[in-house]
Structure 1
Amino acid sequence: MKRLHAVLLPLLALGALLLVGCDRQTGFDERAEAVALTDETLCFYTGLRLSDFGGPKAQLHFAGETPRFYADTVKMFHVLLNPGTRPGSVRAAFVQDMSDSDWYAPGDRWIDARDAWYVQGSALIGPLGPTFAAFSSQAAAERFAAEHGGTTLRFADVNTEMVIIDGGALHDTSM
């Protein structure tokens, strides 16, 4: 019996540490707050000045770094779903709420990306092409989809195949 405890206790402790480590890698810090855009805020990925373009933007907060802004939500999802593209653990993710917002001037209404409702495949595009429109409520997302087309999704519904950002270049066999 002592021998069994000697084996089981370290294994249980290791399992608990792995679970805590996983939570720290993927868990968000609830104390983080969205940062307001300025006229000079640039997209981390493209260098575009965000105030020059419509559509919902995103911001990711990483441990030990200033927030990174993205010109569209597709890039945010790409980074979140591909751990090799990020510098460390994610503290927070925010998207602009397009509920009652002008597509071409969305303003500074930020919501937690995990709580948002998304519309994929609408007729409206972001500065980098098709994007996910983000909404604080299901009703707002469904109204938008009824008017502009697209499919309503939750954060957990988005997968890596939906956020490929190579523009098809990796699949171009004509070169």
Structure 2
Amino acid sequence: MNRRALLASGIILAGGGLAGCLGRGASGMEGDVPEPVDLSGGKYDDHGGMVIGRHGGANGQVFYAENAPDRGENPAWFHTLVFGLFPYHFGRLDRGWEPRVVYVTDFSQVEYELTERDGRLQMPSPTAAETFGEAADLTYVAESEVMGGMGPALHPFSDEAEAEAFAAEHGGIALSFEEIDPVIIDRLQRGSGHGHEHDE
């Protein structure tokens, strides 16, 4: 799947009303924006129940304005973007939950090395608070040969040139935050031939 295939035929229309809401609340909320939190220490993903930091790939967290995950406190946190953060968050948007801010791993802020697992390259899974950036400001590499903990992944970078270089070296396409919608997430989950592996 290439960028044209992803974005053609009105695919981005589904995300037009959603993606713009994924960052800070659309209502222009007043007050300080919460800072990202450290996701180490055996925290369990709020969408799938897996331990964050153990499986590889970008992590994420979402602070909601007037709602919280089932455990009762913000933020909602995730060990994967494709199989965790985005599916959960799109579902919550459908319920009327308003995000205050969304954070994801910013690989431009991380000294990372790729590892090999089951014959595939894989990104690390940093969890420190300072490794997160505001999701709306990052560029995402999709469909590269480099996997996350559950297979196909989105790899976020605050430096667009780094994202483009990563895609040039490892395949894939660079997407802005606004271009990510439920249809694209579904197609990434299907893996375009990669399949996905659920690491326990």
TM-score (norm 2): 0.63
CA contact (8 A) 2:152 2:188 kept: no
Larger Rg: 1
CA contact (8 A) 1:62 1:87 kept: no
- Distance between the aligned counterparts of 1:122 and 1:161, measured in 2? 18
Q: Deviations over 1:30-56 (max 9, x none)?
A: 612111112211111111111211110
Q: In the alignment, does 2:112 pair up with 1:101?
A: yes
CA contact (8 A) 1:60 1:94 kept: yes
Identity %: 28
Relative distance call for 1:58 and 1:128 in structure 2 (3 A) is same
Relative distance call for 1:25 and 1:107 in structure 2 (3 A) is closer
Cross-structure match for 1:72: 80
Cα distance, 1:106 vs structure 2: 2.9
Cα distance, 1:90 vs structure 2: 0.7
Q: Deviations over 1:1-50 (max 9, x none)?
A: xxxxxxxxxxxxxxxxxxxxx9x963575612111112211111111111
Q: Deviations over 1:71-91 (max 9, x none)?
A: 21223233444422x672111
Cross-structure match for 1:54: 56
Q: Which has the higher contact order (CA 8 A, sep 6+)?
A: 2
- Count, aligned residues: 145
Q: Which runs of no fewer than 5 residues in structure 2 stay unpaired?
A: 1-20, 69-73, 114-122, 191-200
Cross-structure match for 1:3: none
Relative distance call for 1:96 and 1:120 in structure 2 (3 A) is same
Cross-structure match for 1:26: 26
Q: Deviations over 1:108-150 (max 9, x none)?
A: 2100000001001011122222111000110110121122111
Aligned residues: CA RMSD: 2.6
CA contact (8 A) 2:61 2:76 kept: yes
CA contact (8 A) 2:58 2:156 kept: yes
Three-state SS of the structure 2 residue aligned to 1:48 is: coil
Cross-structure match for 1:15: none
Relative distance call for 1:37 and 1:87 in structure 2 (3 A) is farther
State the AA in 2 paired with 1:116: L
Cross-structure match for 2:162: 140
